[in-house]
Amino acid sequence: NAGVTQTPKFQVLKTGQSMTLQCAQDMNHNSMYWYRQDPGMGLRLIYYSASEGTTDKGEVPNGYNVSRLNKREFSLRLESAAPSQTSVYFCASKFNKGQTGELFFGEGSRLTVL
């Protein structure tokens, strides 16, 4: 009964390094989302994917790339990390059933860029 699984849970990077955050869901959901959360900023949408093969930019996509590898997996890549990308990253997923559908969240990945 895993739900939404994110890896890694913690990561420290140096400026300019690259890394990929992995997300997988086992609930057969259609849509998947990546958010970042900073103090006082709430959850800001980075990218989302309504189905395999489709991705769309959210509010803050600059500096990130995503891949919807299959229905289960949605990864977020930082090509050249910057201190401004220090944040907690949440992956979430949901069904596309009309206007309803709860977002299910992973436990978060805390990233620090030095």
Residue 44: CB minimum distance to another protein, A: 8
Instruction: Note the residues at the interface with another protein (CB under 8 A).
Output: 31, 33, 35, 40-45, 48, 50, 54, 56, 58-59, 90, 92, 94, 96, 99-103, 105-108
Closest to another protein by CB, 42 or 62: 42
Closest to another protein by CB, 62 or 100: 100
Residue 1: partners with Cβ closer than 8 Å, 6 or more residues away? none
Task: Label residue 107 left, alpha or beta by phi (over 0 means left) and psi (-120 to 50 means alpha).
Answer: alpha
Two structure tokens written together for 58: 């959210």
Closest to another protein by CB, 17 or 50: 50
In angstroms, the Cα distances linking 111 to 5, 18, 19 are: 16, 12, 10
